[in-house]
Amino acid sequence: MTLPMVLSMLVNSLYNIIDSFFVAQISEEAMTALSLVYPVQNFINAAGIGFGVGINAVISFYLGAGDHRKADQAATQGLVLAVIHGIVMTVCCITIMPAFLGMFTSSKTVIELGVRYSVIAFAFTLIIIVGVTFEKLFQAVGNMKTTMISLMCGCITNIVLDPVLIFGYGLFPEMGIEGAALATDIGQALTLTIYLVVYLARPIRVHIRRQYILPSKKMVIKLYSIGIPATLNLALPSLLISALNAILAAYSEVYILVLGIYYKLQTFVYLPANGIVQGMRPLIGYNYGAGEHQRVSQIFKIVLCISGIIMVLGTVICLLIPGQLMGLFTHTEATIQTGETALRIIGAGFIVSAVSVTSSGALEGLGKGIPSLLISLCRYVVVIIPTAFLLSRFFGAVGVWNAFWITEAITAIISICVYYKAIAQSQLSQSTVK
């Protein structure tokens, strides 16, 4: 269940790095613009994936309970709501971008580049949201190979088109930063196309049915009760990045650039771990629905160990070659040195973060959206933002980097407590119903 997702997430993280690598060749201003747009991009992805997690969890639960009619209803109404979300976000995100960018920089060049990139990138929001919804449908029935193939085809297409559209080769004109946005859009459109073709050619156990299009109050509430907390879980990094950008802007835009580069690089660690978690969610949801509590516990422990191994590798890489990693995105020696310090300090928190990442994903698979959200709030808002602000007053930008590992250590302890409390309550609830 997890291996196909880990492979596709690795390719996806590679796309993130290569995408930023080519944008960095345009100028440091272009890379800074990309860093400032990233929180809004992350919010769009968070809304799509988060609500998709709700769809995934509800479908998995009903399949485990043997209720295929309710599973079809969840899939159909989830898709309809996802389309509405996509249309609303397209309009809102394009509209707010000039004002949003102006909150973090006074550079007209950076603002102009950011607006040019975001208008094209956000025009495909609906396609992104619908694509993610189909991804979660396939995952809910255990069809991870289709998800892997679709994501990999989209990402590889994006990687190939990046230099072609940015710098202009052959018949293609030089588009600059707009080319990077268009390459991403084309990759996302291809991913959705593959999902649709496979769904129509080889129907899966869950179906989109016309008779379920009209919303059912109970089903909508169930979808949102998991989808909203999951969305907030994934959207909180956007709030965190914006808050840290505001703190770092008081010192230099170089630190904003370094933070942006870090968030591109960390995808190579956290996306594979997220692939493990995505494989875990339907398994945990299915077994929970079937009342197999011992198997739920086994799955959690296995995923925690695998995620820990991934995080160890990420820590080692950040300690050994931080300068080479930063050099992929900038040739300015001062920026590289600043980035080396940041990567070494932040990387110290990778290993312990496996606890909160796994706990949060497991709770979503169980349909426990609120406890999962509590973990993410600690990790992305309640602990790290005040800690970063206070430490920056005493140690400058270095204080912000140290806030990362301190937060991961505190959140890991909270995660274990929240997870086992939620598990105990869910077991008691199921036994009472029986």
Residue 222 counted as domain residue: no
Residue 146 CA neighbour count, 13 Å, CB half: 25
Same structural domain for residues 186 and 283? no
Same structural domain for residues 288 and 334? yes
Instruction: Specify the pLDDT at position 38.
Output: 83
Of 380, 415, 384, residue with least CA distance to 402: 384
Instruction: Answer whether residue 367 shows pLDDT above 80.
Output: no
Same structural domain for residues 270 and 330? yes
Residue 223 counted as domain residue: no
For 14-47, how does the pLDDT look when each residue is reduced to its tens digit (9 = 90+)? 777 777 888 888 888 888 888 888 888 888 888 8
Residue 249 counted as domain residue: yes
Average model confidence (pLDDT) across the chain:
87
Instruction: Answer whether residue 354 shows pLDDT above 90.
Output: yes
Instruction: Specify the pLDDT at position 335.
Output: 87
For 222-234, how does the pLDDT look when each residue is reduced to its tens digit (9 = 90+)? 888 888 887 887 7
Residue 129 counted as domain residue: yes
For 290-329, how does the pLDDT look when each residue is reduced to its tens digit (9 = 90+)? 778 888 889 989 999 999 999 999 999 999 999 898 988 8
Same structural domain for residues 190 and 290? no
Q: Using an 8 Å Cβ cutoff, are 135 and 52 in contact? A: yes
Of 162, 182, 215, which residue is a domain's last?
Answer: 215
Any idea how long the chain is?
A: 434
Residue 220 counted as domain residue: no
CA distance 55 to 8: 21
- Strands (DSSP E) contained in 75-150 are none
- Type of residue at 391: L
Same structural domain for residues 124 and 265? no
Instruction: Answer whether residue 172 shows pLDDT above 80.
Output: yes
CA distance 279 to 145: 11
Same structural domain for residues 315 and 189? no
> What sign has the CA pseudo-torsion 282, 157, 267, 303?
positive
How far is CA 312 from its chain centroid? 20
Same structural domain for residues 207 and 111? yes
Instruction: Specify the pLDDT at position 427.
Output: 63
Domain count across the chain: 2
Instruction: Specify the pLDDT at position 19.
Output: 77
Q: What is the SS3 assignment for 171?
A: coil
Instruction: Specify the pLDDT at position 119.
Output: 93
Q: Give 12's pLDDT tier (boundaries 50, 70, 90).
A: low
Same structural domain for residues 161 and 265? no
Instruction: Specify the pLDDT at position 205.
Output: 85
Give percent above pLDDT 90 in the chain: 36
Q: At CA 375, angle to CA 371 and CA 379, rounded to 5?
A: 165
Same structural domain for residues 89 and 9? yes
From residue 428, alpha-carbon distances to 343, 366, 412, 423 in Å are: 44, 14, 25, 9
Q: Using an 8 Å Cβ cutoff, are 177 and 23 in contact? A: yes
Same structural domain for residues 239 and 170? no
Residue 221 counted as domain residue: no
Torsion region of 142: left, alpha or beta (phi above 0 gives left; psi -120 to 50 gives alpha): left
Residue 247 counted as domain residue: yes
Tokens, residue 127: 């396609």
Instruction: Answer whether residue 165 shows pLDDT above 90.
Output: yes
Report yes or no on whether pTM surpasses 0.75: no
**Max CA pair span of the chain:** 68
From residue 362, alpha-carbon distances to 1, 2, 84, 103, 380 in Å are: 15, 14, 28, 36, 18
Same structural domain for residues 308 and 401? yes
Residue 262 counted as domain residue: yes
Q: Give 52's pLDDT tier (boundaries 50, 70, 90).
A: confident
Domain residues for 420?
228-432
Q: Please report where in the chains the tokens 């389309």 appear, as a residue.
A: 83
Of 188, 215, 242, which residue is a domain's last?
Answer: 215
Residue 198: its H or E element: helix 177-201
Same structural domain for residues 153 and 279? no
